Each structure stands twice: as structure tokens, then as C-alpha cells.
Amino acid sequence: MKKVLKILILIFITNRFSARIIIPQVPDVVHPPIPEDANLDAAYNTLIEDQDPEVRPGLFQGDIALNNDVYNYWRIGLRWDVFPEKLWTNGTVPYVISPIYEPSDQVTIYKAIRTINFMTCIKFVPWDGVTKDYILIWPIKYPSGCWSFVGKFGGSQIVSLQPPDSNGPNCLGTEGRAIHELMHALGIFHEQSRWDRDKFVKIHHENIIPSFKSNFDKQSLENTTYHYEYDYDSIMHYGKYYFSKAKGKPTMTAKMPNVKRLGQRKAMSKGDCLKLNHLYGCFDNAKRRRKYYNICQFMGL
């Protein structure tokens, strides 16, 4: 009874943010498609303590759940002519936020959603309970961590954001990690998987946990449709120590001088903002182009 009351209170709080919310049934355990060669248990124990919550084993590049078809064609932003079914129609993404989250965590998730809604022409809207495809933001227990599919998967699609616990803030310390995972759901891959990345970063293969070497793969030019400059500041870029065997051993370093950091999870960079708008056709007419281009310049990190 107490639990029911708690959920009702949470729904009430949730309703203060959105006019209407329908909570679907979600199993405790969800098994997204995981690459066949992923070794979940063995690898999990080898991760060092201060690893990023995004760096979870078993999922493609740490935090991406995807099937082999997508793997074969993956790119920085999904090409809609190759994967028309993965595009969110009219840039509209219905969403549900789990009532399991504490109100403060819900606020963090709302901040991420509002940021994307403001900075791009993409519109996250509360799910109406009817629309077939929508995202379900839920703290999945297995695999835990912060993860997402890339592009629209069809049906109710999980974006897993692990809430803070005694080990740390996990995926909801700031809205940055939520934005990162939502950007995957919109069809964006990691910045360092660009075909031209070797001009910009050096991969230290000897420091990578062996079973995660494929997380540092890149794509060929033919499969890439990317127009923006390499972006060290991207919210979609790996950090220097991701999937490192040991403390202090970088897996990736910058080749260009004066690069202070690799990746960040604070906010969308100017480049992130531009590429999302580009991917969703927000630059297609002159008025909108001016609006969102200016927003990216002013608000992008």
C-alpha cells in the first residue's frame, strides 16, 4: 500500500511537468540485442573503479544497444536513406519517464529533454498512450548503466539511465549524460568513430581492456555522411581513459596541439547542436536555419 501511495505521489509530481502521462508496463529485466561476442560477466569485473558509468560491458561501444544489421552500417549519424525506419517521423519523439525515479532525477531528465527541444527543431513530447513508437526512460537493472539504441528501434524503446546511488551520480549527476543517451536514440554515434578520426586522436591499443578493443573501431569514408569538423568537445566523444586497463593509462589522446580535453558530459557542444539540427532537417528552410544556427553558436559549449 505504501508503495502504491509512493507511485501515486510520483505520478502526481510528474504531472506537474506534463499534462498527461501514461505509465506502461516495464519488466524488471530487459535484454536488448547484444553483440554475440560480448563477454558480459568476465569483463565486468575487470573494469577499474572510477570508470565512467557509460563504460559498461556487453553493449556496443559501451553504451549502445544495437543489432548486427546496424553494426554493419553504423556511422556518426544514421543515414535515413539506408535506415528510413530509424528516423523519428517529423522529428517528434514521444517519451515516458519512469515513476521509479526520484523527483530530483526526473528533473534532471526533464532538463535534458528541454535542452534538446530548445536547441533543435526536434520535439520530445509526452507519450499519448497510443502512438506505437516511443522512448521509455527507465533505470534498467540488467544491463545497468547508461545506454540507448541508436535511432528509432520501434515499439517501446528503452533509454536506460541509472540513478545516483552510494557509488556516485551514475547517469544523472547532470543532464549531460541523459543528453548523450538521448542523442544516441536520435541516431547519433560516438564522435571518435568517424572515418577521419586518426588525424585527430591516437588510440593506445595496448591500454585498452582486450575484449573492448572493438569499441574503438571506426567507419570507412563510404559509410559516412558527415560535414562538420572533428569535435573534441563533443558530448558524444569518449574520454581519455574509457575502457582503460588501469588507472592513469589513457586509451586515447589528442594529436592536435592545445586540446585540453577529450569529450565532456556537461552540455551539447556547438558541433553537437549543429549535427543534430542537420540530421533532422532543421536547416532546410532559411528562417529555421538562422534560428537554430544562432542557438547553436550561443548555447553550444
| Contact between residue 88 and residue 157 where contact means Cβ atoms under 8 Å apart | no
Name the one range near Zn ion by CB under 5 A: 19-27, 40-48, 60-68, 290-298: 60-68
Cα dihedral angle (75, 80, 82, 84), rounded to 10 degrees?
Answer: 130
Tell whether residue 184 is among the known ligand binding residues. Answer: yes
User: CB of 64: closest distance to Zn ion in angstroms?
Assistant: 6
Determine phi and psi for 70, rounding to 5 degrees.
Answer: -65, -40
User: CB of 191: closest distance to Zn ion in angstroms?
Assistant: 10
Nearer to Zn ion, 193 or 224 (CB): 193
Nearer to Zn ion, 95 or 238 (CB): 238
Cβ-Cβ contacts under 8 Å for 81 (sequence gap 6 or more)? none
Name the one range near Zn ion by CB under 5 A: 36-44, 61-69, 82-90, 99-107: 61-69
Where does residue 281 rank: exposed (0-12), middle (13-18), buried (19+ CB within 10 A)?
Answer: middle
Count H helices, E strands: the chain?
7, 8
Positions 99 through 118 that interact with Zn ion (CB under 5 A): none
Name the one range near Zn ion by CB under 5 A: 56-64, 112-120, 223-231, 243-251: 56-64
Tell whether residue 180 is among the known ligand binding residues. Answer: yes
User: CB of 54: closest distance to Zn ion in angstroms?
Assistant: 6
Nearer to Zn ion, 63 or 272 (CB): 63
| Contact between residue 60 and residue 36 where contact means Cβ atoms under 8 Å apart | no
User: CB of 287: closest distance to Zn ion in angstroms?
Assistant: 33
Q: Sign (positive/negative) of CA torsion 183, 236, 280, 75? A: negative
Active site residue 181: yes
In a 3-state reduction of DSSP, which class is residue 252? strand
Cβ-Cβ contacts under 8 Å for 184 (sequence gap 6 or more)? 63, 64, 148, 149, 150, 159
User: CB of 180: closest distance to Zn ion in angstroms?
Assistant: 6
Instruction: Note whether 175 binds Zn ion by CB under 5 A.
Output: no
* Nearest one of 283, 252, 112 to 184, comparing CA atoms: 112
Binding residues for Zn ion, rule CB under 5 A, total 1
Nearer to Zn ion, 63 or 105 (CB): 63
Tell whether residue 237 is among the known ligand binding residues. Answer: no
Nearer to Zn ion, 14 or 170 (CB): 170
Nearer to Zn ion, 138 or 189 (CB): 189
86/79 Cα distance (integer angstroms): 9
Q: Which amino acid is at 280?
A: Y
Max CA separation in the chain (angstroms) = 60
User: Using CB atoms, what's the residue nearest to Zn ion?
Assistant: 63
User: CB of 129: closest distance to Zn ion in angstroms?
Assistant: 29
Instruction: Note whether 63 binds Zn ion by CB under 5 A.
Output: yes
Cβ-Cβ contacts under 8 Å for 46 (sequence gap 6 or more)? 209, 245
Catalytic pick from 54, 175, 181, 191? 181
Instruction: Note whether 191 binds Zn ion by CB under 5 A.
Output: no
Return binding residues: 180, 184, 190
Binding residues for Zn(2+): 180, 184, 190
Site residues for Zn ion per CB under 5 A:
63
Q: Which residues participate in catalysis according to the annotation?
A: 181
